[in-house]
Amino acid sequence: MRTSLLAVALTTLVNGHCRAEGWMLTLLDGEAVVIDGARRLTAGPGLRVSPGALVETSATTALVRFEGPDQATIDLGPDTRAMLAPDNATARGGRPPAVYLQQGSVKLTSHEGSTFPGLVAPGLELLPFSGSAVVQVGKGNRAVFAEAARLEVGERHSGGVPRFLKAGEFYSGDGKRAGIVAERPTADWLKQVPRAFRDPLPLRAAALRDKPFEAPPLPGPTYEQLARWLGAEPYVRRDFVSRFKPLARDAAFRRALQSHLASHPEWAVVLSPDR
């Protein structure tokens, strides 16, 4: 297992195909909520999640770690929203990514000898790699740090071109125009990298394997709790109508869908099935 300058992150299978049923939450420092299927759950060590699970951390969360079957890890920082193993999504080359990062910070690390399947985010994608990388998505900014890996960053906008990073190099951009590759991250960027990413942490999946976490169910999800996902780019919401259709039986949820239909027009078939 590689030792890194920041901390450990994402999971992979040797053949590059990663599914979320292999993901287990193993470390939690702070609060996190998981939406698994249409259920909203309290996160806790030992929780296994399904493909397409949505994970959200709070502004005060230090770290949420998921470990996979190949001793790879996904580390999520504070104020982060991510989908693990999007069911119906593919990246360039037809491979499914291991994670979609909508907002926040994630560190991805593969086990030695294996390949991490990749990541997709608004405006960029990270192709399969070996080693460790940190990705950050904010309002109007995207950043990728090739901490201990050679990376190919794809720009998902018109005219976007592949960017190749050597270990230690840093990509930054806004997700709409061509980004910049620098020899190293800026000092200001390094200061705001989650502290929990900086030191190696022990793997815990083996110790938790026979101690499954029965996640206490939470109320909801309400429309407001799902709004950012329901209005996300079509890439990740392809199956949301079938997945969350039962929630539309709730009058308040249904009214909110109708009020914001322009953000997710595919819900018209549920709201007006006879049209």
pLDDT, tens digit, for every residue of 8-49?
A: 333 333 333 344 447 999 999 999 999 999 999 999 999 999
Exposed, middle or buried, 47 (CB in 10 Å: 0-12/13-18/19+)? buried
**Local confidence band at 94 (pLDDT 50, 70, 90 cut-offs):** low
pLDDT for residue 87: 72
Can you read off the two tokens belonging to residue 240? 């949301």
**Is it the case that residue 146 has pLDDT exceeding 50?**
yes
pLDDT for residue 12: 32
Q: Which residues partner with 34 through β-bridges? A: 41, 55
Residue 143 neighbours by CB distance under 10 Å: 20
Find all residues with CB under 8 Å of 43, minimum gap 6, and list them.
25, 28, 31, 32, 33, 34, 55, 64, 215
pLDDT, tens digit (0-9, with 9 covering 90-100), for 45-81: 999 999 999 999 999 999 999 998 688 889 999 999 9
What are the start-end ranges of the H helices in the chain? 187-191, 205-208, 223-230, 240-244, 251-259, 268-271
pTM tops 0.95, yes or no: no
Place of tokens 């969350």: 244
pLDDT for residue 217: 92
pLDDT, tens digit (0-9, with 9 covering 90-100), for 97-122: 889 999 999 999 998 888 888 999 99
Can you read off the two tokens belonging to residue 34? 């998981």
